[in-house]
Structure 1
């Protein structure tokens, strides 16, 4: 009945409906019969009007500026309550019917969600409540291990390019943490950077600026300086630079809008992706964009504590500069004391159908909590023997705190390659919708999640697999923990003690998992087939020094054992080796490739050495 007709968009159908209802009541001949109902409708209209004024004032929206001289929000609230009381005093049956009818209309409007911008007071109140909650959270005491929850920064690029990565992180939302999907637009300024523009605006035309990069005055590098562009006035150049910045800002806003549409796309999610937001930044290089996201994502205490990125499949064909940039991104995440996850899924098995799953039950609160409610704050660590600590330090599995962000390659030598071709049109999500149309599975094949525990990283590598199997889609999957010990002696039984300790710890942590001790005997020779596969990646063992050879031998033995024991797993979690300073970037990528190639989906991850598990509940 709300359909408009004509130039004035007149609702003729509603007019006729109102006319016939009026005629029906007039035909009764006794208006006193319908007087209570009419009075109640008037009273509830007045009640809703008063309440709307009260709600608008309570939301403290600056756009609400009543001009009535004697207006007071408490009088509006009292008037709304008084109207309801009078309704029930007139006739409680009619009043109850009226309230039910109005509530049904209200729910119907929410259900149909009409495309009308009413400026609801409820939206303004949600903003105030959210801001108050952030303030309260910001000034609470330091976060305790029992309140820890993973919050993810997912380096997705345009979200429709890495649908599977967003879906995988959404499966880990048992902890109801924040997920920021980071999209970096790599774009070098054709004339000058924003920093150069500001400097030129402040200092006049004395600053030399070259195409692509900013140069300080007196630099002898070749470039088109302001002095050689005398034909263009200083104001014109400033306007051009400002126009470039405005264009980039509009592009970022457009991509953020597309990302929000993806996260709320009903053809992909049930309602929306839980706890997910999209953040877009423009940077001259991919590494600069990652640094910007690391420093600025989130607000207050709602900031990511774990970075998620995909595996770089083209590292063999790409330039050394590009591979170095990827390695520096990993190093930057570790240096920022954040958890880090590198996810590889060659066969797109993680691209699951997030809508049609009808598993047994919803996500309920588990009685086995991972936190404690004690005044004590015990720090629990999985201690290793001195020999094991020493060997793992030499093999690249030392504490994350020892990592420093050092330049394996001067950032000015890193060239930008990841430029998007063409403009990103609003209908770019059509490719995602086409992917969704095909039959996607609701869960991963197999029934087991494997965790390879190589060293203590604070427990994040144990917590996330536990959260994954708590998801209804993985209720049928079991959790298996492989406790690895290294030895140089044939027949060593130290791994049995490691297995016993790990089983005891998991029992104390209330994590239901099968524990298996694995002896990674480094005295055994690496199979020739494994060596051939490694050397086919571009690095010869004979070219490595003693330290690199020792670490590479460990990685090859580990890849053999992982391939032997976890080939049939649904998904594998394993500790990520640390890219040491001075380590060749292609050698580091070779290690990751040997671990994860031709395997089920693998998550190579590392915590930040801060405990996220506790004994007590």
Structure 2
């Protein structure tokens, strides 16, 4: 504090002198740090602790750091550098206590050759993992939490949280392992029976537990004081370990050969003969459990704990001055130094001590040392430092996980001290857990678990860096340039191969635990704004495969519906949105919407609605993309969507519109909620969207014309607001009862494929027919029935008709052949028009008077009409849909039309019509308008129906000769009669003549004719195709 005041006083003196000299005072800032300030590196939610009180502490600390910077004082000066913060901790952790208590035993069991192989494998894993750690840490600012922070910010919270918990528990086990190993040299030196220097300490299991507990308590006290004391203690301990290591190496050269028969020691000094005897493995019963024979796996489990020390520097990343530079330099230097030292000491032990001695005397380094007490001090220092590292590292990890709010149960441990943010609660928790695990009392029990968890952490770390590299994200450009994608891949392969070699069962359990935690965090944690490498990978792969998805290689055999649904109000169109979600058959599905108005003035609304529509998709659980556009008119906005939606080979080939609503203004959202029942409680994100003006009828018809001009199929959905049978929200493949509590009844999907003549295409036999539309109607009905929910709950029916009863059997045979060739499994029903039930046909074609006595259903035409079900559903579509999509190029195949079935209908040029006409008024309208609009029909039709009187008197008039208005009236009655118990109808959509949209009157005629066709029908999906979608070829 005194230094701070003196600096403040000096700055004040400088300011006063400048004022006296007339110079303008300036405030001098300290140079910019090498790494940007924290607030520029992470989000507020990532750095500021939760809670108002902690937020105030954070801001106060930041203001203090800013004030220190104003006066030239570095606020991070007290943090650790590369040597004391990384190199020393990593060296001390790698140069672990197993060197003092198990190194000779390892060589005695595995031999020098296999020991070399183990160390080389271990160091290769450590080396490749170090490269990955260095690359990640050199790519940005590293915060506290060590491997957890690196992985979570690279792979996302699920991977980071799950592997963070695994590494946290592995770190705890590392502390237990070192404390258990510490007891052995302590008792060898001071034990009552085996003490080489003093025989004062009691021996036994509980005595060893007590000694470990005392050391653990002392280490916990040091950690609670603060990281600064920890760093100073580390330097002191490193000095002891350094001296002890030098004495070990000197002892091999200074100590004369000797033999101690009583203790079973035979030291030959450096000898080629002894080296040859120790080259090869000789596995024998375990020193701790004589009933178990050691093997390669169990010995490697004792070797690998040494290499876990490479994480020591990363675990202290929060206390480093420059983590991105210190971690690579310090860790790699420590790896190289310790590797050379281990290789040397292995050779010296194998060349100077007999195999029997190595197997029996676990404290062989102490026995041959010129200063045995220094070896004991080195073991004590190593165990102490490892325990300190385990406590502080595990506490930092659990603190970081708690502050990220990944698991609510850990929220208590987000606490940190005001001065240095030391995790007091987490340190105490780690102390309790280590204390309990000390009850295991055996190194051989703890070592395999510690090894498996550590290698698993290494593997995920390598995987994180490998994925970042192959994801080709431009922002992954670490200043550490020695990492390559193949080094990460080698590291991943080595790690996962090794854990399953060591212990397949433990490896499986550990991986399963990590997977469970992955799922828990994924489903219980709010989304984090850290970035996720999987998004980069998905982008990379999708781009690659989209380039390979060549539209020129498409074939009709692999055709699938790619739907662009144009939506204005999602609440009104909810049933249609869910229906199209079932109809897409695992392919592209886009929701399109047009914002009408000026581009600049609608930009804010556009940005807001982008997020709102995405939230709507999440809530409704549909698998769809969202495409919005801004345009001055519905027509040009829809055209923009049709042309621009999709990418590459994934472009919509079907544009779906809701039925045109003739009302002048849309109803409010509140009114719509009253008559549109959807299985979503409360408000939708889109309920507050800007309400668009109604679409003009000319724009509506122009969207149909533009879609067909672009060679895309067009579909119009009528009455879907009345659809009640929908798959559940969670999964459209699950089964559920749509009408719980109601009596179960058979439900149907009816397909009415109708051939449409093409007035612009003539041949010598008359009009050509659009067979593509006929087959696409069959195709779409079949696709819907392939969805598990619809297949389980509905029966598919194909409904055809002929004019005369004598043609029924021939028609049935033709359609059966066609359905068999197209692999459409459905019930087939064939009707004829010339029957008493169809009053409209009798009145229009035969000129009979209409009576009102036959209102109920009857059985005729040889087909069971069925029992009376619910009343026909009224037309309920009241939304204006403005949007559209794009198509993917179709492959035209020649297909014989000799088997074409159904009645031809002339493409309509509509008449006047009313959506609320009764049957009688329909007929009277027909009689009134026939003569007036005869000139509007194609020549063949006009010639056949010149006047109503002529129609009545001419008994040879046929259905095909009628104008579209009359045909639609007859078809409407036929479908109402035969499909009154159906849930969904698929049928053909008559297309408007090119240029219809240019005149208001023609557009009204066209839409009125469509209303007559679908009046009082169940939800109806009308389709008009422009290309072939089915084939019989292999």
Work out whether the TM-score is over 0.5. Answer: yes
The alpha-carbon distance between structure 1 residues 6 and 323, as it changes in their structure 2 partners (threshold 3 A), is: farther
Is the 8 Å Cα contact of residues 415 and 425 (structure 2) preserved in structure 1?
Answer: no
- For residues 565-584 of structure 1, the aligned pairs below 5 Å read 565-580=978-993, 581-582=995-996, 584=1002
Residue of 783, 799, 802 corresponding to 1:467? 783
The alpha-carbon distance between structure 1 residues 441 and 87, as it changes in their structure 2 partners (threshold 3 A), is: same
CA deviations on 1:137-195 (whole Å, 9 max, x unpaired) are 12x6431111000111101124334111101111213x2121111011111x2xxxxxx
Q: 2-side partners of 1:131 and 1:442: how far apart?
A: 50
| Matched position secondary structure for 1:60 | coil
1:339 aligns with 2:713: yes
Superposed CA RMSD in Å reads: 3.7
Deviation at 1:291, TM superposition (A): 0.6
1:132 aligns with 2:132: no
Q: 2-side partners of 1:463 and 1:576: how far apart?
A: 15
Q: Which residue of 1 aligns with 2:606?
A: 252
Is the 8 Å Cα contact of residues 156 and 165 (structure 1) preserved in structure 2?
Answer: no
Q: Which residue of 2 aligns with 1:295?
A: 643
Q: Which residue of 2 aligns with 1:273?
A: 622
- For residues 168-187 of structure 1, the aligned pairs below 5 Å read 168-173=579-584, 175-187=585-597
Is the 8 Å Cα contact of residues 576 and 720 (structure 2) preserved in structure 1?
Answer: no
1:601 aligns with 2:1011: no
Greater per-residue helix proportion: 2
The alpha-carbon distance between structure 1 residues 597 and 526, as it changes in their structure 2 partners (threshold 3 A), is: farther
1:40 aligns with 2:429: no
Q: 2-side partners of 1:302 and 1:520: how far apart?
A: 43
Q: Which residue of 2 aligns with 1:71?
A: 483
Q: 2-side partners of 1:171 and 1:94: how far apart?
A: 43
Q: 1-side partners of 2:744 and 2:612: how far apart?
A: 28
- For residues 502-521 of structure 1, the aligned pairs below 5 Å read 502-520=815-833
Q: 2-side partners of 1:289 and 1:7: how far apart?
A: 58
1:261 aligns with 2:261: no
Deviation at 1:95, TM superposition (A): 4.6
Q: 2-side partners of 1:527 and 1:183: how far apart?
A: 49
Is the 8 Å Cα contact of residues 167 and 350 (structure 1) preserved in structure 2?
Answer: no
The alpha-carbon distance between structure 1 residues 152 and 445, as it changes in their structure 2 partners (threshold 3 A), is: farther
Is the 8 Å Cα contact of residues 520 and 558 (structure 1) preserved in structure 2?
Answer: no
Q: 2-side partners of 1:516 and 1:63: how far apart?
A: 63
Is the 8 Å Cα contact of residues 656 and 715 (structure 2) preserved in structure 1?
Answer: yes
TM-score, with structure 2 as normaliser:
0.42
Is the 8 Å Cα contact of residues 145 and 611 (structure 1) preserved in structure 2?
Answer: yes
Q: 1-side partners of 2:580 and 2:701: how far apart?
A: 22
For structure 1, list consecutive stretches of 5 or more residues without a partner in the other structure: 190-243, 363-437
Residue of 795, 810, 815 corresponding to 1:478? 795
Q: Which residue of 1 aligns with 2:527?
A: 115
Q: Which residue of 1 aligns with 2:972?
A: 559
1:454 aligns with 2:724: no
Q: 2-side partners of 1:579 and 1:526: how far apart?
A: 32
Q: How many residues align?
A: 473
Deviation at 1:34, TM superposition (A): 2.5
Q: Which residue of 2 aligns with 1:420?
A: none
Q: 1-side partners of 2:747 and 2:500: how far apart?
A: 60
Deviation at 1:116, TM superposition (A): 2.5
CA deviations on 1:418-444 (whole Å, 9 max, x unpaired) are xxxxxxxxxxxxxxxxxxxx9899999
The alpha-carbon distance between structure 1 residues 12 and 335, as it changes in their structure 2 partners (threshold 3 A), is: farther
Q: Which residue of 2 aligns with 1:612?
A: 1029
Q: Which residue of 1 aligns with 2:410?
A: 2
Say which one has the larger Rg.
Answer: 2
1:22 aligns with 2:396: no
| Matched position secondary structure for 1:159 | coil
CA deviations on 1:226-254 (whole Å, 9 max, x unpaired) are xxxxxxxxxxxxxxxxxx62x53332232
Q: Which residue of 2 aligns with 1:215?
A: none
Moved more, 512-521 or 155-164: 512-521
Is the 8 Å Cα contact of residues 574 and 602 (structure 1) preserved in structure 2?
Answer: yes
Is the 8 Å Cα contact of residues 308 and 343 (structure 1) preserved in structure 2?
Answer: yes
The alpha-carbon distance between structure 1 residues 524 and 126, as it changes in their structure 2 partners (threshold 3 A), is: same
Q: Which residue of 2 aligns with 1:354?
A: 728
1:327 aligns with 2:701: yes
Q: 2-side partners of 1:321 and 1:597: how far apart?
A: 21
Q: Which residue of 1 aligns with 2:558?
A: 147
The alpha-carbon distance between structure 1 residues 344 and 29, as it changes in their structure 2 partners (threshold 3 A), is: same
Deviation at 1:535, TM superposition (A): 6.8
Q: 2-side partners of 1:526 and 1:252: how far apart?
A: 59
Is the 8 Å Cα contact of residues 182 and 293 (structure 1) preserved in structure 2?
Answer: yes
TM-score, with structure 1 as normaliser:
0.68
The alpha-carbon distance between structure 1 residues 88 and 462, as it changes in their structure 2 partners (threshold 3 A), is: closer
The alpha-carbon distance between structure 1 residues 525 and 273, as it changes in their structure 2 partners (threshold 3 A), is: farther
Moved more, 82-91 or 160-169: 82-91
Deviation at 1:313, TM superposition (A): 2.8
The alpha-carbon distance between structure 1 residues 163 and 441, as it changes in their structure 2 partners (threshold 3 A), is: farther
Is the 8 Å Cα contact of residues 152 and 307 (structure 1) preserved in structure 2?
Answer: yes
1:306 aligns with 2:654: yes
Is the 8 Å Cα contact of residues 356 and 442 (structure 1) preserved in structure 2?
Answer: no
Q: Which residue of 1 aligns with 2:933?
A: 544
Residue of 459, 463, 470 corresponding to 1:58? 470
| Matched position secondary structure for 1:301 | coil
- For residues 163-202 of structure 1, the aligned pairs below 5 Å read 163-173=574-584, 175-187=585-597, 189=598
Q: 2-side partners of 1:256 and 1:320: how far apart?
A: 21
CA deviations on 1:193-240 (whole Å, 9 max, x unpaired) are xxxxxxxxxxxxxxxxxxxxxxxxxxxxxxxxxxxxxxxxxxxxxxxx
The alpha-carbon distance between structure 1 residues 107 and 454, as it changes in their structure 2 partners (threshold 3 A), is: closer
Is the 8 Å Cα contact of residues 573 and 721 (structure 2) preserved in structure 1?
Answer: no
Q: 2-side partners of 1:441 and 1:288: how far apart?
A: 48
